[in-house]
Amino acid sequence: MSLRLKKNKMENVTIIGGGIIGLCSAYYLQKEGHAVTVIDRNDITDGCSFGNMGYMSPSHFIPLASPGIIAEGIKHMLSSSSPFYIKPRLNLDLLQWGYHFWKSSNAKTVLKNAPHLNNILQLSRHLMNDMRKEISDDFEMEEIGCLMMCKQQQTLDHEFHMADDAEKFGLNVQRLNSQQVQELESDVELNVSGAVLFKDDCHFHPGKLMLLLKDHLDKQGVKFQLNTTVTGFEKNNNHISAVITNKGKFDAGNIILAGGSWLPELTKMMDIHLLLQPGKGYSYTYPFVEKNIKYPAILVDGRCAITPWRNKLRIGGTMELSGINNKVLLNRMKGIYDSAKDFYPGLKIDFPPAEKIWTGLRPVSPDGLPYIGKISTLNNVTIAGGHAMLGISQGTGTGKLVTEIISGRKTSVDISSFKVDRF
């Protein structure tokens, strides 16, 4: 056994993708002594891991594919400022993805999948505190929970029911009426029916975490091959022997594909078909708000979110399935802004300047669960992706699981529902 561990520690691991999943994988792999190289198409200063809302949310144990989501999506698609949009196009991958999304959006499948999503979320939340102690806490992490804020009483009743389910998973929740929520946000006038406070959630500045984590990995000897595009792979039978890029060829020991929304492009080069769609999200960060809110919140009826970091404030949301592009549709941002003003009429913010609106692509699987595991036809390739809006929430847990897979150990949680070939 000791010889096997020694052998594993001498292995070279190439991670393709430098987002939160790739960096968390590198973090745990280097801790076990693996020699790690991260290849990324950009320079790890932007991307979905930077412009998101910064939530680590055990509260989000219900997968995206859930009962009623299809009908709600069709309703929202009638509005140009809606939080959900699918660009109509004849695309076989989109049609296949949509079929499996529809098949997964039922109570039976959610009942089966929610415990597995809960397990990785709780694992990640636990591991985050340990990582924070090691890499420094200079990324504005606050452990005050997250509000699920509701405008309509019907929405609040539903969230209270969800709180019952959360308590069955051991989560700490508090049900609040409108007055109690207003007492929490004493500096800003609210217009809500109430909220659920998920006390186990935390939030932080994701961009600062990414930069701190990359700096830490640099110091620990992880190699970074940046601004480098993967163009193919050398394959010998069921083994990938090299990664081919626009900057040369890199010998491969173990390979981890953590390319986010570009995962299908990478797997296609290996003759693997992976169902995944890029879901575009929008955000804007106000550099200074004099009277800011105190708590991060999901604005449930508005299908968007809001996050404070001292005097900074970020608003964001939407799920736009329009392929890989960074085009900004201002009406989508207007929907987010209008919802924020509707929930927080006392918040003094202007509509964001168009040129400073951020967009990022979330990798969405058909059932709302990530892909974590080895490719059955290739003995040295592991996939880690498809986390949708929960990449930050599942980052540390995914990194830990990937390391256990590479090292041949039993995983910390059951990953059978995350199988790569489940569709």
- Angle of helix 107-135 relative to helix 206-219, nearest 10 degrees, comes to 60
3-state secondary structure of 350: coil
Q: What is the pLDDT of residues 74-95, one digit of tens each?
A: 666 656 666 777 777 889 999 9
Beta-bridged to residue 39, according to DSSP, are 16, 225
- Amino acid making up residue 74: I
Q: What is the mean pLDDT of the chain?
A: 93
Split at pLDDT 50, 70, 90, the class of 68 is confident
Q: What is the pLDDT of residues 141-164, one digit of tens each?
A: 999 999 999 999 999 999 999 999
With residues binned 3-state (H G I as helix, E B as strand, rest as coil), the percentages for the chain, rounded to 5, are 40, 25, 40
Is 402 in contact with 28 (CB distance < 8 Å)?
yes
Q: What is the pLDDT of residues 310-336, one digit of tens each?
A: 999 999 999 888 899 999 989 999 999
Is 417 in contact with 369 (CB distance < 8 Å)?
yes
Burial of 347 (0-12, 13-18, 19+ CB in 10 A): buried
As a whole number of angstroms, the distance between CA 386 and CA 384 comes to: 7
* Token pair of 26 as six digits: 């590198």
As a whole number of angstroms, the distance between CA 198 and CA 37 comes to: 37
Query: Residue 294: is its pLDDT beyond 70?
Result: yes
